[in-house]
A = this chain, B = another copy of it.
């Protein structure tokens, strides 16, 4: 699988190869100004305390691997500065970098990028369509991760395939928020025991969008935290060259086998990246938040019975508190009720179904 090409300088660039060892040392062994794109999924520095159980008492498989352990923010910052510096040396002047992270580390990474002279082009939010819930109800569902896209320096002529991304997005300009499912099912790589081969494998759809949008065929893409090689797999499919760096032999082994099995331009696994979303669900509470209905306002049904809107989007009526559907069902003595068509509000003497307001929101969202 190893192929060597000559870079501008004297040193060879080991394209389509997985390098072993520490990523900073490995990067420093490569020629400067030789790489078109870097995609990096560094350790997130999660600081997990005790165990976490689901409500059904099953235990959550935590990311507690040794490679994610740092003693302090200072240690993490130092590590981040070092690998970002080594990475920047490798980038061609018009090259770019993507880094993915969560709130645990992404603010450190973003600051370090700016301090190192990179120029941030966008932050892009990966909105997970199926994230793990917050089991204890103590915070918001952690439903996204953040990617930072930056050029090597201000004013660089980075690659951006605007029309290709627009086509991927059904003819509409690609936005900075991408809705994509997490990596599971058949795409999730298993080890010989049938367990997941890597705790944080990224979906190919995410890399597909990154690579289509910010490289051209024949470009060289480096991933210094290669893991099980999603970057290399998608790069190969899309006719780009790649270099991976990975410390753990177990990950390298899985990645090698995976990439060897891929033929270029075999995009069957990527169909999910263009799949259409279902019609957006509009929570009734959003009508209250947006001021379309006031807390305290009365809704009425066709029989003239009424219920009061509360600040959290629940209704109070007939001695019951609950959703528009629940209170409607109670009033009707029915097992269920479509609150959207059941309830009405008054404006200028007229009685209007609340579904009209939902239609307005959907029209804006289109």
Contact = CB atoms under 8 A, between A and B. Distances in A.
Contacts of A285: 167-170
B177 A162 contact: no
Interface in A244-274: 265-266, 268-273
Contacts of A138: 160, 162
Interface in A306-350: 308-314, 316, 321, 323, 332, 334-337
A332 B57 contact: yes
A310 B265 CA distance: 9
B291 A335 contact: no
Given A265-B294, A294-B265, A123 B141 contact: no
B168 A313 contact: yes
Interface stretch (A61-69, A129-137, A218-226): A129-137
B167 A137 contact: no
Nearest to A366: B129
A312 B268 contact: no
A79 interface: no
B187 A310 contact: no
Nearest to A104: B120
Interface residues of A, number: 107
A123 B177 CA distance: 14
A106 B265 CA distance: 38
A148 interface: yes
Contacts of A29: none
20 contacts: A57-B332, A107-B114, A110-B110, A122-B140, A123-B146, A125-B144, A141-B173, A141-B176, A164-B311, A164-B312, A168-B283, A169-B285, A170-B283, A170-B313, A179-B280, A180-B289, A208-B288, A212-B311, A272-B310, A272-B314
- Chain A facing B: main interface SS: mixed
Which 9 A-B pairs have CB atoms at the shortest separation, nearest pair first? A107-B110, A168-B285, A269-B296, A269-B295, A170-B283, A164-B312, A143-B175, A272-B312, A103-B123
Given A289-B205, A312-B167, A174 B141 contact: yes
Contacts of A205: 286, 289-291
A240 to B, nearest CB: 11
A188 interface: no
A354 interface: no
Contacts of A139: 121-122, 160
Contacts of A73: 114-115
B181 A364 contact: yes
Given A141-B174, A170-B283, 14 more contacts: A57-B334, A57-B335, A104-B120, A143-B176, A144-B176, A168-B285, A168-B286, A187-B291, A238-B311, A265-B295, A269-B310, A270-B295, A270-B311, A272-B312
A141 B173 CA distance: 7
A108 interface: yes
A11 interface: no
A173 B133 contact: yes
A310 B270 contact: yes
A53 B129 CA distance: 35
A311 B269 CA distance: 6
